[in-house]
Amino acid sequence: MTQVHKNIAVLPGDGIGPEVTRAAVQLLGDCAAAFHHKFEFNELPFGGSAIDRAGKPLPAETLVGCRSADAILLGAIGGPKWDALPLEKRPESGLLGLRQSLGLYINLRPIRLSRALQGISPLRPERLAECDFEIVRELAGDIYFGEHVTTGSGPKGHAHDVASYSVEEIERVARYAFQRAAARNHRLTSVDKANVLATSALWRKTVNSIAQDYPDVALDHLYVDNAAMQIMLRPKQFDVILTSNLFGDILSDEAAALAGSIGLIPSMSRGRDGQPALYEPIHGSAPSLAGKDVACPLGAMFSACLMLRESFGLELEAQWIETAVERVLDRGYRTMDIAEPTGRTLRCSEFTEQIRSEMNDVLVHHERYGWGV
Ligand code: IPM
Ligand code: MG
């Protein structure tokens, strides 16, 4: 088996970010030890904690560290402490700045439900069955990166935000989504608001023209309001969903609700081939849970698995962690947010130890009998 040497930038961030990141880093460390890889972790300040330490959410040293890394693992950012700051000084602007500086224009959010956790989904099992799809969200354009302007104040106050897309921005993310669909079940649903927005009309036209290069992928289009409804009514119909930045932000939280907790969903943000990609759970910093050792580390752990698979090509290692997680869930162990009446609720660190010990058992089994059992 090939051994790899990788430099991973770790941005724990705020709130529960440091706790869940620590858990994911532990698993990556176990992975390196078990498979004789070398992972070097470079922890860097980011978000609100970086504002406190360095006066800005994205310090220069963090950007330099991320640029020179093979991949980046991020926890979460933000919190009430920094909410009163102007938009451009808040932790969120650090995240947007990082996405922009690293050219991360694709955001992948897999919605895959664990068999053991079907009970915590708000959907009935027959509606949920085999729900497994991916959201490809455009990440570098749209209303997020247009002008944000407030003028006047009081009753004379006014604000506007500009949404814009170029054909090139739509094409590059659309190609990625078509490729994902081609490697899965050959269905792509593009989501827009082409009945109202100019950006969406361009989006639809561009996606249609790209479709000619992917004849084996069946493309359809949904308006975003309908898509929001379909995700709840019939999630099984989706294979890959392609959408713009703002719609993707909203729909991915909605889709995460299918899994029963936003704490379970990982993400990858990437740009061109060969550039470092960023992995993070899609949940926020959950300030009310911070420091209590009760957060769910699964979103961060699955993000680490995505990193192993997508950035390092380490499929077996990713499966090893996922198998151990599934077994721990099968035995009824849960964190608070995914607790069920019959299971046993553990602290974040205890839950992580259960997974590590299960990983070790799987490894011992493998050493005796080989993989695939
Ligand atoms: C996300 C988050 C961010 C976004 C915030 C924190 C800026 O909600 O990654 O989904 O809106 O993109
Ligand atoms: Mg979001």
pLDDT tens column, 232-280: 999 999 999 999 999 999 999 999 999 888 899 999 999 999 899 999 9
Q: Which of 137, 145, 249 to mutate to test the pocket of ligand 1 (most atoms within 8 A of CB)?
A: 249
Q: Among all ligands shown, which has an atom nearest to the Cα of 268?
A: 1
Mean pLDDT of 26-46: 97
The verdict on the CB of residue 249 being under 6 Å from ligand 1 is yes
> DSSP labels for 14-44?
STTHHHHHHHHHHHHHHHHHHHT-EEEEEE-
pLDDT tens for each residue of 74-111:
999 999 999 999 988 999 999 999 999 999 999 999 99
- Gap between the Cα atoms of 349 and 293, Å rounded: 7
283 Cα–ligand 2 center, Å:
7
Minimum mean pLDDT range among 62-76, 226-240, 286-300, 330-344: 330-344
Nearest CA to ligand 1 atom 6: 92
Ligand nearest to the CA of 93: 1
Q: For residue 15, is it left (φ>0), alpha (ψ between -120 and 50) or beta? A: left
- C-beta separation of 320 from 373 below 8 A: no
- The DSSP bridge partners found for residue 11 are 74
Query: What spacing in Å lies between the alpha carbon of 249 and ligand 1's midpoint?
Result: 6
Bridge-partner residues for 163, per DSSP?
none
CB 10 within 8 A of CB 43: yes
Task: For the chain, list the strands marked E by DSSP.
Answer: 5-13, 38-43, 71-76, 106-112, 132-138, 148-151, 158-161, 187-192, 218-223, 240-243, 268-270, 277-279, 333-334, 344-345
Average pLDDT (337-348) is 89
**118-127: average pLDDT:** 86
Which residues are within 5 Å of ligand 2 (an ion), measured at CB? 249
Ligand 1 midpoint to CA 212 (Å):
32
Question: With the CA atoms of 255, 297, 19 and 52 taken in that order, what torsion angle do they form, in degrees rounded to the nearest 10?
Answer: -10
Residue identified by tokens 């991915």 is 252
Measured CA to CA in angstroms, residue 2 lies from 5, 19, 313, 362, 365 at distances of 10, 31, 10, 20, 21
Residue nearest to atom 12 of ligand 1 (CA): 249
User: Which atom of ligand 1 lies closest to the CA of 78?
Assistant: 6
Domains of the chain, first to last: 1-108+265-373 (3.40.718.10), 122-258 (3.40.718.10)
CA distances from 235 to 108, 220, 283 (A): 17, 15, 21
Determine which residue's CA is closest to atom 9 belonging to ligand 1: 282
Rounded Cα–Cα distance for residues 21 and 172 (Å):
30
- For the entire predicted model, the pTM comes to 0.95
List, by residue number, the catalytic residues: 144, 193, 225, 249, 253
How far, in Å, CA of 58 to CA of 142, rounded? 22
Rounded to whole angstroms, the Cα distance separating 140 from 268 reads 14
**Which band of pLDDT confidence, cut at 50, 70 and 90, is reported for residue 372?**
low
Using most ligand atoms within 8 A of CB, pick from 92, 267, 285 the residue to mutate for ligand 1. Answer: 92
Ligand 1 atom closest to the Cα of residue 245 is 12
Tell me the two tokens of residue 102: 């690293």
Pick the ligand that lies closest to the CA of residue 245: 1
Nearest to 75 by CA among 122, 40, 24: 24
Atom of ligand 1 nearest to the CA of 267: 9
Q: What is the largest CA-CA distance in the chain?
A: 74
Contact 40, 65 (CB under 8 A): no
Does residue 143 register a pLDDT over 50? Answer: yes
Does ligand 1 lie within 6 Å of residue 255's CB atom? no
Q: Is the pLDDT of residue 373 over 60?
A: no
Please tell me the distance from the alpha carbon of residue 249 to that of residue 139, in angstroms, as a whole number: 9
Query: What's the CA-to-centroid distance between 373 and ligand 2, angstroms?
Result: 37
* Any atom of ligand 1 within 6 Å of the Cβ of 98: no
8 A C-beta contact, residue 249 and residue 73: no
Q: How far is the CA of 76 from the centre of ligand 2 (A)?
A: 11
pLDDT at 170 over 70: yes
Mean predicted lDDT score pLDDT of the chain: 94
Does the C-beta of 289 come closer than 6 Å to ligand 1?
no
CA distance 347 to 169: 43
Euclidean distance between CA atoms 247 and 268, whole angstroms? 17
Cβ density class 200-235: b for 16+ within 10 Å, e for less: bebbbebbeebbeebeebebebbbbeebbebbeeeb
**Whether residue 95 has its Cβ less than 6 Å from ligand 1:** yes
